[in-house]
Chains A and B, each alone.
Chain A
Amino acid sequence: MANKAFQKVYTQLESITKATVSLRAKGVSNDELATVEGRLAQVVKTKGDLVTLQIFAGTEGIPTDAEVAFLGEPPTLKVSDDLAGRFFNAYGRPIDGGPEVEGEKRETGGPSVNPYKRRQPSQLIPTGIAGIDLNNTLVSGQKIPFFADPDQPYNNVMAQVALRADVDKIILGGMGLTNDDYLYFKHEFENAGALGKIISFVNTTEEPPVERLLIPDMALTAAEYFAVDKNEKVLVLLTDMTLYADALSIVSNRMDQIPSKDSMPGSLYSDLAKIYEKAVQLPEGGSITIIAVTTLNDGDITHAIPDNTGYITEGQLYLRADPDSGKIIIDPFRSLSRLKQLVIGKQTREDHNQVMNAGVRLYADAQNAKTKLENGFDLSDYDMRCLDYAKDYATRLLAIDVNIRINEMLDTAWELFAKYFTKAETGIKQELIDKYWPASSEA
């Protein structure tokens, strides 16, 4: 980023913290970008002529006589169809060895869609994973995170979901990805031959944490270009939002803001909402769907990050290791897709809703039976059947390595019901039983 000829350069810093520097300067506008010793920075506070800049790459080695030049504009991204297939860093510069992308310069973190102009999300996004499609169906225009412990394969699941989803563009926003995970995504996308519809903005753990703050805005600016200008269906993947929130707390801490719960900034809810609410079904047919990852600390969802996320997103998908089947499953109890009712039984088979509910209810009975067993009480015949069912259900439907179509999921569920239960025990409407109960097990 070369300085322009007429630009005034300041060389006297008043103070330096780990993430910010302050100096006296005039005519500076809020949110404007600057360079400090060549590092990108952004105006976060002005008081009289004292300007505070947040330096994304950190302040290590910044001298008090650092050269500071203001760029006169907020963060931007050049958007065009050439973005497709490319990998960028947090500043939107190519990291794949390719040329800079030319296109229209757009401000990132732009305005919100007028709620009145939104449309109700209504298109199903199939993923092949029954724990999602059957129990927590995704809808385009939805925003939903995976809640997962750090040791779970959430990035793999997300990559699978993305590659199977029927969308025009996939935009990956990687925050604090390990280099290995970054290469994994790249490899998966290449292998699937899907590179042409994928755009990635990546900040790895090797790079400064504060840079992460730019990633969601970059990814969503690109998403808005394709969804609004091109009427495309865009899927945005954000991983890991917990690391994004951690970066927020670092900055607010350096700016001496009073922390609220779990040392997070008081504005955490608004900061996260600004990102997630970019998910939208547009009137012209384009849409932005956001699938994110929020890693948990030992499954604790009362922590400020998952808690605020849950209030913003339209449900959550819980990954859990199931000891009985030895698989990673999508937990049917705590997972929820708030928008599933908009497509279930409308774009899927008529029995979907009842089969889903019966399947989960019987699985819940199995959990009760398990508790009984653990407490040393006797198990009834029904309890035993529930336990056997639960194992089969987890392996064949809840596990994340399942990849079948929705009708097959429904048929599998019917097969399991017939194998372990009587018709009455499923509590499904008679007319559906008459139509779908597998004939072979009639006896």
Chain B
Amino acid sequence: MKSTGKVTGIVSNLVTVETDGPVSQNELCYVSSGGTRLMAEVIKVNGKYAAVQVFESTRGLKNGDEVEFEGRMLEATLGPGLLSSCYDGLQNDLTTMTGVFLKKGEYTRPLDEEKLWDFTPLASPGDKVIAADWLGEVKEGWLPHKIMVPFSFKGEYTVKSVAPAGQYDIRSTIAVLTDESGEDVKVTMTQKWPVKVAVKAYREKPRPDRIMETGVRVIDTLDPIAEGGTGFIPGPFGCGKTVLQHAIAKQGDADVIVMAACGERANEVVEIFTEFPELIDPHTGRHLMERTTIICNTSNMPIAAREASVYTAMTICEYYRAMGLKVLLLADSTSRWAQALREMSNRMEELPGADAFPVDLSAIISNFYARAGMVVLNNGKTGSVTFIGTVSPAGGNLKEPVTESTKKAARCFYALEQKRADQKRYPAVNPIDSYSKYLEYPEIRDYLAEKVGKGWAEKVEKTKYIIRRGKEANDQINILGDDGVPMSYHELFWKSELVDFIILQQDAFDPVDSLTPMERQEYMLNLVLDICDREFRFEDFEQCRNFFKEMINLLKQMNYSEFKGGKFNEYQEQLNNFLNNGK
């Protein structure tokens, strides 16, 4: 028997419901208002009163309106067809909605129930299986999409039968399993999972031991993110957060990319819809959209669904991870989600923490980041969810609760800086403040030494040292004037400029420069470090400046040319001559 209730209080989207039976925290319910049913979630219970956050506008809702509780939490529907989809925060398919405007109470199915999939069985009758074990596989685009024992199944099951290879829709039974008490359960191609609960159906979660390439030099070379790692990008508006995230989405070396547009501009999502179907995934040569799922709750969509959107996105990621795939989750921006939490906390009249955010903000953020990670599946294969979130710090000040809480949770920090953005030094990641904790992991250092080049991690540290020394020298030059410092200061400064222009700066809109594979990053860094190792004897700072400016120009042309192609080699030649003769 499901509980029901009646509305007794309304403040914006926070509604108080008098219940007639048991309800649980985070349980879903539907509030009926003038013929439409609005989805809502229990966020607090006090005696027989439940406070629910309604995922839609509550305009027109009245005290006394009926509420039906669902006896389940907010769930994601998982199955083939998730890729290339575009969902709202509650996983309604936005593409199948009618009308230009979003209609209150209009809910659409997340997956196409009619579509037939080519199924191949992987398990055989008699196999012992547990949750997340693979029973079969369908081709979703080029991706082998595993049909698994639902995550919610507890204990061990014996496979009684598996459907033969053939075409099935997602509702067809593709396997029958017998549980320990001898009862048969049917399994289809879809399953549901509560979004706020982490999927733990795997053997173990080891430390990440390899890096995920993004093609962005300032990340891959300087502060690499691990496969299964976490990172975040804080930055004031206009510093290129979204451009950087889109660059990672276009180029990231992942099998599946989930983009959660959380409380951001609708036109940015339109850009994804418009561009991604045209763009090609540089790793597989297929259309980018084929590996991408978009969850969008733009800033003008109901705020309660903003929180749901990031959880829905994460659940979809965990689902693909259980298939042994490399998944990348990008959320833009987690600050908007935190603000949604703040609005609700405020309406519930909770005692506020810093900047009126709820006191458990830090715990909520770190729990969420903890759901990322590399895992070893039951069958020994690995899968991973790498998570990069953006943060929009109020006033561009990094000493605010969301940035600080995220800093504790994420292992990589890519600080976008107003000053670099003003100078058009994009991506405007500050190389001195940013860090990757993964560079300290011995297993990652070994991986880099083997895959990229011997002593790579040491080279990266050296690069950072050059940047720091250059900054110190520049500070002195600015205080004492060009003539007031020794020549060596000018040389130090220009060596750091060389690193800045050639390694750090990257043109996200240039077809060649925007994507730099690791091999090319290694080549260019070695080239730059070689130059930095040289000692030059300049007569005056003008000579020093002109020398480096010319060299930077040559190296920049190399960045814009196809790697080791004709033009690239020409510029390399010119550079060699310049280095030999110029000084």
Task: Give A contacts to B, CB under 8 Å.
Answer: 26-32, 44-49, 74, 107, 109-121, 141, 228, 257-261, 266-267, 269-270, 273-274, 277-278, 280, 282-283, 302-304, 307-308, 310-312, 314-316, 333-334, 336, 339, 341, 375, 377
Contact B95 A116 (CB under 8 A): yes
Q: What A residues does B263 contact at CB under 8 A? A: 269-270, 273
B-chain residues with CB within 8 Å of residue A316 when the two chains form the complex: 238
B59 contact set on A, CB distance < 8 A: 29-31, 74, 107, 109
Q: How many A-B pairs fall under 8 Å by CB? A: 165
Contact A270 B303 (CB under 8 A): yes
Q: Are B346 and A257 in contact (CB under 8 A)?
A: yes
Is B355 at the interface (CB under 8 A from chain A)?
yes
A74 to chain B, nearest CB (A): 6
CB–CB A310/B356 < 8 A: no
Whether B11 and A45, one on each chain, are in contact in the complex, defined by CB atoms closer than 8 angstroms, is: yes
Tell me the complex Cα distance, A47–B270, Å: 40
In the complex, the chain B residue whose C-beta lies closest to that of A376 is B481
Q: Is residue B552 contacting chain A, with contact meaning CB distance below 8 A?
A: no
Interface residue? B122 (CB, 8 A)? no
* Chain A residue nearest to B96 in the complex (CB): A116
The residue on B at minimum CB distance from A261 is: B394
A267, B343: Cβ atoms closer than 8 Å: yes
Q: Which of B325-351 contact A (CB under 8 A)?
A: 336, 339-340, 342-343, 346
Of the candidates B94, B103, B237, B301, the one whose C-beta lies within 8 Å of that of A311 is B237
Check if B392 is an interface residue, CB within 8 A of chain A.
yes
Would you give 29 A-B contacts (Cβ < 8 Å), ordered by A?
Answer: A45-B11, A47-B8, A48-B9, A49-B63, A112-B101, A112-B266, A113-B101, A113-B102, A115-B298, A120-B271, A141-B267, A257-B346, A258-B356, A259-B356, A260-B356, A260-B357, A266-B343, A266-B346, A267-B339, A267-B343, A269-B299, A270-B263, A273-B299, A280-B266, A304-B394, A310-B238, A312-B299, A314-B265, A336-B238
Interface members, chain B 490-511 (any A CB < 8 Å): 509
B62 touching A29 by the CB < 8 A rule?
Answer: yes
Shortest CB-to-CB span from A436 to chain B, Å, is 22
Contact A283 B100 (CB under 8 A): yes
Which residues of the other chain, A, contact B543 by a CB distance below 8 angstroms? none
- The answer to whether B267 touches A113, judged by C-beta atoms less than 8 angstroms apart, is no
A112 & B102 in contact (Cβ 8 Å cutoff): yes
Q: What sequence of 0s and 1s flags, for each residue 1-45 of chain B, a beta carbon within 8 Å of any chain A beta carbon?
A: 000000011111000100000000000000000000000000000
> Within the complex, what minimum Cβ distance (angstroms) separates B99 from chain A?
7
- CB A217 to nearest CB in B, in angstroms, measures 12
How far does the alpha carbon of A74 sit from the alpha carbon of B57 in the complex, in Å? Answer: 12
Contacts of A32 in B (CB 8 A): 60
A304 to B394, CA, bound (A): 7
> CB distance A115 to B63 under 8 Å?
no
A44 touches B266 (CB 8 A): no
A111–B101 touching, CB < 8 Å: yes
The contact string, 1 if C-beta is below 8 Å from chain A, for chain B 444-472, is 00000000000000000000000000000
- Asked if B395 and A303 sit within 8 Å, CB to CB, the answer is yes
Complex Cα distance A260/B357, Å?
8
Known pairs A74-B60, A303-B395; A118 contacts B97 (CB<8 A)? no
Specify which chain A residues have a CB less than 8 angstroms from the CB of B86 in the assembled complex.
116
Q: What's the minimum C-beta distance from B549 to chain A, rounded to whole angstroms?
A: 11
Q: Find out whether the CB atom of B63 lies under 8 angstroms from the CB atom of A26.
A: yes
B227-284 at interface with A (beta carbon < 8 Å) = 236-238, 263, 265-267, 269-271, 273-274
Given the known inter-chain contacts A228-B100, A266-B343, A273-B299, please indicate yes or no for A115 contacting B270, CB distance below 8 A: yes
Given contacts A45-B11, A283-B100, A377-B481, contact A277 B394 (CB under 8 A): no
CA distance A280 to B357 in the complex (A): 32
Output the nearest chain A residue to B60 by Cβ-Cβ distance.
A29
Q: Are A260 and B342 in contact (CB under 8 A)?
A: yes
Q: Which residue of A lies closest to B18 (CB)?
A: A48
Instruction: Give every chain B residue within 8 A of A31 (Cβ-Cβ).
Output: 58-60
- Asked whether B482 is an interface residue with its Cβ less than 8 Å from the other chain, the reply is yes
Q: Known: A28-B62, A31-B60, A114-B99. Contact between A46 and B352, CB under 8 A?
A: no
Distance from A262 Cβ to chain B, minimum over Cβ atoms (Å): 9
The answer, yes or no, to whether B367 is at the interface (CB within 8 Å) is: no
Instruction: State the Cβ distance, A291 to closest chain B Cβ, in Å.
Output: 16
How many Å lie between the Cα of A118 and that of B63 in the bound state?
36
Chain A hits for B94, CB < 8 A: 114-116
Any chain A CB within 8 A of the CB of B104?
Answer: yes
Q: Which of B57, B103, B267, B340 contacts A118 (CB 8 A)?
A: B267
B148 at the interface (CB under 8 A from A): no
State whether A46 touches B104 (Cβ < 8 A). Answer: no
Query: Given A47-B9, A113-B102, A270-B343, are A120 and B356 neighbors across the interface (CB < 8 Å)?
Result: no
CB-based closest 10 A-B pairs: A273-B299, A302-B395, A277-B300, A310-B237, A260-B356, A31-B59, A116-B94, A47-B9, A29-B62, A112-B300
Are A114 and B237 neighbours in the complex by a CB distance under 8 Å?
Answer: no
Residues of B within 8 Å of A307, CB to CB, are: 237, 394-396
A30 CB contacts on chain B under 8 angstroms: 10, 58-62
Q: Verify if B577 is at the interface (C-beta below 8 Å from A).
A: no
Q: How far is the CA of A311 from the CA of B356 in the complex (A)?
A: 20
B-side contacts of A278, CB under 8 Å = 300
Q: Quick check: A258 and B238 within 8 Å, CB to CB?
A: no
**Are B395 and A115 in contact (CB-based, < 8 A)?**
no
- Cα–Cα, bound, A267→B299 (Å): 11
Residues of chain A lying within 8 A (CB to CB) of residue B377: none
Q: A47-B16, A120-B270, A270-B343 are in contact. Are A302 and B300 (CB under 8 A)?
A: no
List the B residue with the shortest CB-CB distance to A371.
Answer: B478
A151 vs B583: C-alpha distance when bound (angstroms): 56
Chain B residues 379-422 with CB under 8 Å of chain A are: 392, 394-397, 422
Instruction: Please tell me if the beta carbons of B9 and A46 are within 8 angstroms of each other in the complex.
Output: yes
Q: State in angstroms the CA–CA spacing of A377 and B392 once bound together.
A: 39
Q: How far apart sit A377 and B485, CA to CA, in the bound complex (Å)? A: 14
Q: Which residue of A lies closest to B103 (CB)?
A: A111
